[in-house]
Amino acid sequence: MNLELFIAKRLIKGKQHKISISAPIIKIAIAAIALGILMMLIAVATGVGLKYKIREKIAAFNGHIQIYNYDNNNSEVSVIPVSIEQEFYPDFDSVEGISHIQAVATKAGIIRTEDTFEGIIAKGVGTDYDWTAFEDFLIRGTLPNYSSDLNADVLMSAVMASRLQLDVGDEFFTFFLKEEDPSKIPNQRKFRITGIYDSGFEEFDGTYILIDIRHIQRINQWDKNEVGNFEVFLTDFDAIDEKSAEIYGQTLSTLDTQTIKNKYYKIFEWIGLFDFNIGIIIGIMIIVGGINMITALLVLILERTPMIGILKALGSSNWSIRKVFLYNAAYLILIGLFWGNLLGLGLIWLQDKFRYFQFPNPQEYYIDYIPVYIDLSMVIFLNAGVLLLCMLMLLIPSHIITRISPVKAIKFD
């Protein structure tokens, strides 16, 4: 039998413990642990959720990695075409961790209506395009279908449609300059809006419309097997740098690769600060919870000083007595963790399901609601970390037991 654990259980279950002077202090310590783990869970869930959501939106417009001709010189529009007759297309089997690859092309243009005009980048997509992200972004109409004959259907953002005073079903003219001689009469195309999307990312929404890639191939006088670039999607974003190097090694010497981390490095530097902020919050909460537990432990020791003297008189070692109080403190921490997890995970679930909490300035965070994301490993890591660190913090104050004299302790009142 574990004697220390047995004594700790008796202390916890005893009625005297529940009505003692230490009872309110113990409740405060439990509340501090519960509040701490609640704040940690919310900080992690919102920070990681926002980071993942922003990454997903950037990838929806660019893929995780782009493969393009060196001569494009990082241009936003496709200048030098790339043949789709590549070993890595349409299935990139030579590199693990690639979920999808699609061929696209981009071209700058100007939309002209009776009342106004707007500069745009037309992104040409084909039958291999993954519309999953835009299914979530779609707010009106339907997604274009480019699987049959060439058509004039386009997908436009709500931001751009509002500026141009257009809506689903409206038609408009777009003018594209000729790359070989901009002074010549531009190419003109008439498009029809089939759907309106809103990604919340105004930098992209105010720039891109999605059209049939065959329009860009005809305007640029490319062959049907020529595209602007390839967009590669990964199963694990954290491996993006490693996979980019692997992909570069599997492509022709005339082709280059670029990750969205490098292309939009300022945005990724900003969301990288989320991890630092989360770390600060977790550190503060652990310190606050630990200090409250130290206070509760010292009060418990003071209240049980006569018992400590009796145990010492009966031959118990200092470490054995310390273990009794550490078991007691661990129980209190676990109670706090239970209630903190119950409340924290409940709030996270409600936010994920009903999106009660909104950003006051959605344009600053590229999303109107506060996204949340958490998995089991995060919860286990946080709880184990709080329990371990708090117990380590309690080792020092528990050392006070070694300085208690048995004779004075038994007489203590």
Q: Return the SS3 of 100.
A: strand
Domain-embedded: residue 254: no
**Angle subtended by helix axes 23-62 and 318-354, to nearest 10:** 40
Structural domain ending residue among the three candidates 170, 200, 227: 227
Residue 13 confidence (pLDDT): 73
Which of 227, 260, 284 lies at the terminal end of a domain, its last residue?
Answer: 227
Same domain, 33 and 88: no
Establish if 233 belongs to a structural domain: no
Owner of token pair 């574990």? 2
pLDDT in tens, 302-334: 888 888 888 888 888 888 888 888 888 899 999
Confidence (pLDDT) at 382: 92
With a cut of 70, say whether residue 405 has pLDDT above it: yes
Q: What is the pTM of this model?
A: 0.84
Residue 122, pLDDT above cutoff 60: yes
Residue in this structure with the two tokens 């309690």, named with its chain if needed: 394
Please indicate, yes or no, whether residues 383 and 278 belong to a single structural domain of this protein. yes
Cα–Cα dist 290/391, whole Å: 8
Q: Is residue 330 part of a domain?
A: yes
390 domain-assigned: yes
Do 193 and 281 belong to one domain? no
Specify whether 334 is located in the same domain as 407.
Answer: yes
Quote the number of domains for the chain: 2
Please check whether residues 358 and 326 belong to one and the same domain. Answer: yes
Q: What's the pLDDT at 359?
A: 85
Rounded Cα distance between 78 and 67, Å, is: 12
Instruction: Specify whether 208 is located in the same domain as 289.
Output: no
**Phi/psi at 208 (5° precision):** -100, 140
Crossing angle (nearest 10°) for helices 376-395 and 318-354:
150
Residue-number span of the structural domain to which 285 is assigned:
3-57+268-411
**What are the pLDDT digits (tens) for 82-111?**
999 999 998 998 899 999 999 999 999 999
How many C-beta neighbours within 10 Å does residue 223 have? 10
For range 146-152, the mean pLDDT: 90
Question: CA 63, CA 76: separation in Å to the nearest integer?
Answer: 14
Tokens representing residue 138 in the block: 């779609």
The reply to whether 105 falls in a domain is yes
Q: What is the pLDDT of residue 334?
A: 94
